[in-house]
Homo-oligomer: A and B are copies of this chain.
Amino acid sequence: MNKAKLNNKSHNIMVAQKKIAGVLGATGSVGQRFILLLAEHPSFELRVLGASPRSAGKKYIDAVNWKQTDLLPTMAEDIIVTECKSEFFKDCDIVFSGLDADYAGAIEKEFVEAGLAVVSNAKNYRREEDVPLLVPIVNPEHLDIVSNKLEKAKSEGKSKPGFIVCISNCSTAGLVAPLKPLVEKFGPIDALTTTTLQAISGAGFSPGVPGIDILDNIIPYIGGEEDKMEWETKKILGSIAEDKTHIKLLTPEEIKVSAQCNRVAVSDGHTECISLRFKNRPAPSVDAVKQCLRDYVCDAFKLGCHSAPKQTIHVLEQNDRPQPRLDRNRDAGYGVSVGRIREDPVLDFKMVVLSHNTIIGAAGAGVLIAEILLARNMI
């Protein structure tokens, strides 16, 4: 919490520049996280909270069943919840969506058509080829598709178009974080396997994972998750088409991805046991892999984004790390921890990756995406 960085003068300037933010699905698990992260944000002023018609008209404190370990921010308590219609969000520079997939499709479409900028945690538009699917510490350059669209509209004298940027699936975020610098340095990855041990907060809480299912137990299945991880990885590591209108996915020939997903009795923090093989021979050394990960500085940090991790990837040397309870909060949950990097008898390397599923894997990613949009003058 580096709130003390700014002196009074710059603070006042910041206040003057604050962008108006709204949250869709504000009473849900992801929505609550957005509110926590935005409540005292230096660049955003949280002003509009949208939820179901049942909640609309109530004070937020009366509408929400607050379940975060941090207390409900005072500033949000008395905001009157609105319905999720663009008319109530028309003053917003940025809208964060924590809507369930059942609702996100129609609502987010209406918001974009109304000219709003939406950063969404829902899965509905992730596979649209002209929608960036972003892990903000990994592929912010995919936002070029949006900036291209904005510039084109501007040059044509049109009003600023609405757009949507999708946050990746939570378990995908942890997977691709170490891949990005490795691919940049050592060339393409031929094959990639991951077995996940995922936290229950990723399932939300209405009802989420039943206690009786997770106490003294593991659930070796999360609906749709393995397909998401395998597909999203190919988009996030893919490249922007030459005409800057869409993303070209990696083909199965370019990368083979296999995921096995498990739910475990952990509150926050997804652990992934990853193996990978590079296309190029010989493969780099373990030390070279470690150094590459340590040296990686994400663009969001270079852009000076408030939430960007100082150390994007923490390479841990102790045998028994990373552990969710001990390492999930590195860099306030925006940093990813990688441990046990070693040679793999089947592929080239294996390693354990830990990422905070509700920060870099969900709401936190959304906020950092918005910071990048702001730094790039896209909002």
Contact = CB atoms under 8 A, between A and B. Distances in A.
Contacts of A319: 221, 223
Contacts of A210: 205, 207-211
A256 to B, nearest CB: 5
Copies in the complex: 4
B221 A340 contact: yes
A345 interface: yes
Interface string A350-375: 10100000000000000000000000
A320 B330 CA distance: 31
Interface stretch (A114-122, A152-160, A191-199): A191-199
B230 A345 contact: yes
B326 A67 contact: yes
Interface in A243-282: 252, 256-258, 260, 262, 264-267, 271, 273, 275
A346 interface: yes
A211 B216 contact: no
A215 interface: yes
A266 B217 contact: yes
Interface size classification for chain A? 35 or more
B325 A69 contact: yes
A321 interface: yes
Highest count of chain B CB atoms <10 Å: which of A193, A214, A344: A193
A12 B321 CA distance: 39
A162 to B, nearest CB: 34
A1 interface: yes
Interface string A327-348: 0011000000001100011110
Contacts of A200: 211-212, 215
A214 B324 CA distance: 10
A344 B346 CA distance: 14
Highest count of chain B CB atoms <10 Å: which of A68, A322, A346: A346
A367 B190 CA distance: 46
26 contacts: A68-B326, A69-B329, A191-B346, A200-B215, A208-B211, A210-B211, A211-B213, A215-B325, A216-B265, A216-B266, A216-B324, A217-B323, A217-B325, A218-B264, A218-B271, A218-B324, A219-B323, A220-B273, A220-B320, A220-B321, A220-B339, A220-B340, A221-B319, A260-B273, A260-B350, A264-B265
Interface of A: 1, 3-4, 67-71, 191-193, 195, 197, 200-201, 203, 205, 207-221, 223, 230, 252, 256-258, 260, 262, 264-267, 271, 273, 275, 319-326, 329-330, 339-340, 344-347, 350, 352
Given A208-B212, A209-B212, A221-B319, 12 more contacts: A70-B329, A197-B218, A213-B323, A215-B267, A217-B324, A218-B264, A219-B323, A220-B271, A220-B323, A257-B345, A258-B345, A264-B264
